[in-house]
Amino acid sequence: MANESTLALPAEQVETVTLTVNGRQITAPKGTNVLQAALNNGIKIPSFCWHPKLKSVGSCRMCYIEVEGVPKLLVSCCTPVAEGMVVHTESDLVRQGRKAVIEFTLINHPLDCPTCDKGGECDLQDLTFAHGFDDSRFAFQKYRFVEEGSSSSFDDHRIGPEIILNRNRCILCYKCVRANKEAFGEYDLGVYERGNIAEINAAPGEQVDNPYSGNLVEICPVGALTNTDWRYKIRVWLTQQDDSVSIFESSGINIRFWKERQKNHIYRVTARPNDAIDDGWLADVTRYGYQIATSPHRLKTPLIRKDGKQVEASWDEALELIAKRFRSVCDSQGAVCVGGIVAPWQDNGALMRFNALFRKHLKSNNVDFRTDYKNLPSTPTSDFSLLASQPFRIAQIDSSDVILTFGSDLLREHRNEYLRARKAMTFNDAQVIVAGPYATKHADISSAELVYAPGSEEAAIGALGMAAIELGVATDTGFSESFGNRSLADLCSVAGLESDDVRAAARTLATAERPSVIVGELITRSPARDGIAKALNNLDRLLGLSTKGQVAALAAYANSRGAERLGLLPQPADATRAQLTALFGGLSEHDGLTTDQMLQAMTRNEFNACFVLGADPVQTYPDRSFVEEALGKVEFLVVADTFESETTEVADVVLPLSTWAESTGDFVNLEGTVQTARETIRPMHQSKPASEIIDRIAALVTGSDADTTVDIDDAIRALLAVAPAASWAEKYRPVTLPNPEANESNVIALYVGDDPHHLSHLTQHASSLMNFVGEAYAEISSDLAARLSVGSGDTVRLEHGSAKIILAVRISEHLDSDVVLVPRNFASAAVTGLQSRSARVDRVKISRVEG
Amino acid sequence: MHYSPVITNADQAIKSDKLHLFRYVEDPNQKQIDTYMTHGGYTAWKKVLNDMSPEAVTGEVKESGLRGRGGAGFPTGVKWGFVPKDSTKPRYLICNADESEPGTCKDRVLMERDPHGMIEGMAIASFAIKSNLMFCYIRGEFGECIRATEAAMHEAYDKGMLGKNIMGTGYDLDMVIHTGGGAYICGEETALLNSLEGERGMSRVKPPFPAVEGLYACPTIVNNVETLAAVPFIVNNGAAWYKSMGTEKSAGTKLFSLTGHINRPGNFEVELGMPLKDMIYSPEFGNGIPDGKKLKAVIPGGASTPYLTPEQVETVLLDYESMEEHGSMLGSGAIIVLNEDTCIIWSIYKLIHFFRHESCGKCTPCREGTGWLEQIIKSILDGKGKPGDIERIEDLCENILGRTICPLGDAAVMPIQSAVKHFRGEWEFAIEHGRPMVKTDFAFT
């Protein structure tokens, strides 16, 4: 695996101790438990309940060890290493103890291995073979859990959209309940009853449907928790595994595909723990998102619009038509009238080829990967770009003492970093400060929560800085001046914050030793992001946050960072532009157009041919009617995608695009690490990987068989090697304070984000995920619901101008102000129709639908 | 009278300058703060606040030799000393009033009739460990205890014995009463902590010990009601006075709950070191076994302690060392007397049924082992025992003893081990003849 990370984690001096295990001297950091220390040295101590990322509880008692000088057996997962300790893991007493535990564990276990889907990868099966008896001394009826009202003794009931529970197989290691609580902060699964009839079950009246629920199945050591995605479809020993990374998360979560080669089918995805990135936890989107590859609804052949109807066509016909039309537009209208929009989850090879196709072969600088951001300023070295390119280490969140999330609905945006923040709080007592325009789920781990008025970010940042100065925990070297010398009280009043809350947060932040500041999508997608970045720059300058720790706006998609670094922007940063010029033998003179500018040009009939690769702007770009108008007017629209979408519907040529599972490609995660996703199945139907499609178009456009002038791999290497410009937080920048509008009666701020189980137009084709999501909803506070006299499941109308949508109400557990959250990517609820391309905060009229 | 009509030896205590815990428990007004103060209540608290340092209080208690009265008998002052001196976290004191060991009903009497004694002891202990918040975790079924403690707490606040800036000394102390949800295991200190935190009542692995990382991961001291109730007397009368009672290693007095086949069941405060025989047969205590029946066995310290045989009862003394020498434990001081008509297997079945029901289910040997043992013992009692069952019981006990997270596993098997050892003939008879040797007349489930 390529890993270009150059940033080393801070080498902390860890105290170590030396102990002897089975006659071998080993060294381990102080505080490690014996089980972990032994494992790190290749000595495996069997266990059921221990998990490397959870607190040890010592409940299964399988990991007994004998320590010289201690008369009793100890459990190694709860025994810290000590200097000079002499440990035996295979003594007679230990073996006897283990045998007894296996015997106890099995007395009420059904031993239905032949029909159990865990067979072949079951810890209990493996450890029984290794350490147990081949006979049972238990002469009584086994205890049987039976579902209420069922006559079957086979306990098999659904406790969530994906999870099926069999309580009889459960050995009560409590790993699922512990992970749910400790790692995910979820309480939809619990333990009920006690003693030998204790049982794991969904919380009364609830479903186990949290965004991490798939992990519970993966860590179950027996077949008590299985999921519909995998079970009974194939036996585990008939599968092969391939390493890959998720395209559903910008962190580059490491995954493993489980496939059957002959059938060319993927059966599941599991974690491939990488402590630097993911700790081995997968969000459900990553676990079940692979189903887009195996979906029966994929585009199967190229389509060409003939007489107003899209009809099946051959690849040759489609590609020749594309090359011909693009060439002819370039020749007749000029290269400024063609362009491409690419989804930021295409691999580096595809992105680089896309860039070369437009910049080199068609001589057009019109390329962009931002398909869901509001109309953005296109300056290459904006303050926001600097913020976004700051070095950031996911693993460093763990060791931060203070974590500030600013303008981030962390669970909806960065499920992996959300877990890291929880981990820092749970294991290292980190203080979490949450600042955002509405209360978010992760406020439950926060020590301070600042809910500022929508659209008042700069004032909230200014208030934090002024409070730190006022408290004497920061020295004003120009901060107050950069905010126009406005007082703390003044700034608080603009931001709608209580100054005491701001002071408490400011003190914590200013006195942090290793802070991590995560700037979220609510800033990244805002048209005011440069101004907000300036304010953050000043706060960083004042408090030295990025010097002591890290500050960054995190990339949103699996290869956003790659797209940026490879120059898939109309106006890339200077150094990238220089590199591109060198690689492509010069660039066209004209300024490239952003997504928004391309769409605008289309509406003016000034843009004639567009290639959309893997994206669905009709559903994702703000102001739906504008996008529809633009794409309706463009003369020639090519869309390559895996499924039919609202964008493919209006295309002149539709190309069936393979998924990332069907080709090998590299992705750059949010911290800049390059990771490879390997081809695991052959392209389905007639679909082709993006790289192959673009290569063939390029060959047709240039008239040569293959493009030999640019070595794609060399080009990628050269572009990724370009160092990001670094002038962040070096000086104060003047900030213009916003003047946020107040809500009028029933006109409230609308925030459009992702449902944690549904992240792009693609995931609606992952059936497991759709089992979680259901229909689109309008999430509002209980207070607002009361004022509107609506309850959960009732419907409300959201209106903006002439656009309106009707949605079911979901009453939020955490929202406490007048905002409405609506998830994106629901074909049935075109929420982008309510968004404007320029408004900093979208506001909608909300009203109850009668009847 | 709201409290349970239990026999006590308050009449002895009121005449004695030694017995102190039961001195006023027959005074119906003792639970009111005015009466309590007339009887010298809260003088120790005033003395501590005005004249003593936390270290001095801890030192005095350590010197007195007071040991935990909840069952484990750990030296109280030493435990207090385990609170890390340099910790900047808040500290908590918890009074463990979750008295639920079968046979034990001593703390109940204190709470119902003399709740201020416990509260004053808690306050002094809080001061000693520099805590500003103390909790009283009361067994949920103890309705009258909860009401009496609550009333007493409010009185103490009203009188300025609790709250902010107590008696102008600048010391703040608040008290919270928490009632249990019906689980025996929550009397185990780490399970109690989980329960108090709102978690499921399951024990935690030690270390870390609560004194270092207890409630909300802060230094926490958990003491039994009786232990804390003795503290004001130690402060007032000095460690030497306390040490002058009892034996060298078992100083002071102890409450015993005497139940079972006994003429005069009740709660009695005696100096440690008194012969068990006196407790059973002396007219001022148990006054012998009804109907002139012979003694078969005694469970000396609550349901979790090994049985004593009549021969052992002849020599054993009511103190920690003597009990240990005789293979049993002083435990919580619940003496259960079994006469010759008792089926040992039945008595063991009752105990294992209890422990199986109360096992929290966290660790495997206790969770599965108690259930298995119950099934085997029940089958023997039902006349369905099989050869090898006794050995199997012994083997299972070995696989549980010392291998569980908390002492519940040990508690479940120690009586069984002793009953099998001392009364093996009865077990063999039941298996061989398909019926127990002694007929039990009443239903046993």
The pLDDT of residue A739: 85
In the block, residue with structure tokens 């002439």: A802
Please list every residue in chain A whose beta carbon sits closer than 8 Å to the beta carbon of residue B403: 61, 64, 72-73, 97, 100
pLDDT tens per residue across span B357-388:
999 999 999 999 999 999 999 999 999 999 99
- Specify the length of chain B in residues: 445
For chain B, list residues whose CB is within 8 angstroms of any CB belonging to chain A. Answer: 183, 185, 200, 204-205, 207, 356-365, 367-372, 375, 379, 386, 392, 399, 402-405
* Minimum mean pLDDT range among A231-235, B268-272, B417-421, B438-442: B438-442
Q: Is the pLDDT of residue A127 over 60?
A: yes
Please report which helix (H) or strand (E) contains residue B369, including its range: helix B364-381
Q: Is the pLDDT of residue B248 over 70?
A: yes
Span A643-650, average pLDDT: 95
In the block, residue with structure tokens 């995920």: A769
Span A30-37, average pLDDT: 95
Query: Any idea what the Cα angle at residue A663 is, between residues A658 and A667, rounded to 5°?
Result: 100
Do the chains contact at A137 and B392, CB–CB below 8 Å?
yes
CA distance B193 to B208: 13
- Specify the length of chain A in residues: 851
pLDDT tens per residue across span A517-569:
999 999 998 889 999 999 999 999 999 999 999 999 999 999 999 999 999 99
Q: What share of chain B is helix, strand, coil (3-state, %, to 5)?
A: 45, 15, 40
Q: Is the pLDDT of residue A1 over 90?
A: no
Q: Is the pLDDT of residue B3 over 70?
A: no
Confidence of residue A4 (pLDDT cuts 50, 70, 90): very low
Ordered domains of chain B (ranges, CATH):
19-243 (3.40.50.11540), 253-339 (3.10.20.600), 344-433 (1.20.1440.230)
Do the chains contact at B361 and A100, CB–CB below 8 Å?
no
Please report which helix (H) or strand (E) contains residue B335, including its range: strand B334-339
pLDDT tens per residue across span A222-281:
999 999 999 999 999 999 999 999 999 999 999 999 999 999 999 999 999 999 999 999
Amino acid at A444: D
Confidence of residue A706 (pLDDT cuts 50, 70, 90): low
pLDDT tens per residue across span A400-436:
999 999 999 999 999 999 999 999 999 999 999 999 9
**A659 to chain B, closest Cα gap in Å:** 45
CB pairs under 8 A between A and B: 93
pLDDT tens per residue across span A448-472:
999 999 999 999 999 999 999 999 9
Q: Is the pLDDT of residue A380 over 90?
A: no
Span A19-30, average pLDDT: 96
Amino acid at B105: C
CA distance B297 to B309: 5
Do the chains contact at B364 and A191, CB–CB below 8 Å?
no
pLDDT tens per residue across span A729-771:
899 999 999 988 776 778 999 999 999 999 989 999 999 999 9
Please report which helix (H) or strand (E) contains residue A811, including its range: strand A803-811
pLDDT tens per residue across span A727-736:
888 999 999 9
Span A386-399, average pLDDT: 93
Q: Which has the closest alpha carbon to A196: B241, B22, B367? A: B367
The pLDDT of residue B442: 62
Residues A115/B380, Cβ–Cβ less than 8 Å: no
Strands A265-271 and A254-260: antiparallel
Identify the DSSP state of A118: T
**A68 to chain B, closest Cα gap in Å:** 16
Q: Is the pLDDT of residue A610 over 50?
A: yes
Please state the three-class secondary structure of B23-34 as a single string: CCCCCCCCCCHH
pLDDT tens per residue across span B173-191:
999 999 999 999 999 999 9
Confidence of residue A705 (pLDDT cuts 50, 70, 90): low
The pLDDT of residue A703: 82
Please list every residue in chain B whose beta carbon sits closer than 8 Å to the beta carbon of residue A73: 402-403
pLDDT tens per residue across span B24-45:
999 999 999 999 999 999 999 9
Residues A809/A791, Cβ–Cβ less than 8 Å: yes
Residues A832/A730, Cβ–Cβ less than 8 Å: no
Confidence of residue A135 (pLDDT cuts 50, 70, 90): confident
Confidence of residue A586 (pLDDT cuts 50, 70, 90): confident
Confidence of residue A149 (pLDDT cuts 50, 70, 90): confident
Please list every residue in chain B whose beta carbon sits closer than 8 Å to the beta carbon of residue A97: 399, 403
- Residue A636, sorted as left (phi over 0), alpha (psi -120 to 50) or beta, turns out to be beta
* More confident call, B142 vs A574: B142
Q: What share of chain A is helix, strand, coil (3-state, %, to 5)?
A: 35, 20, 45
pLDDT tens per residue across span A474-491:
999 999 999 999 999 999
Do the chains contact at B205 and A56, CB–CB below 8 Å?
yes
Question: What is the rounded average pLDDT for all residues in chain B?
Answer: 95
Confidence of residue A12 (pLDDT cuts 50, 70, 90): low
Strands A636-641 and B334-339: unpaired
The pLDDT of residue A7: 39
CA distance B356 to B367: 7
The pLDDT of residue A371: 87
Which residue in chain B has the smallest CA separation from A196? B367
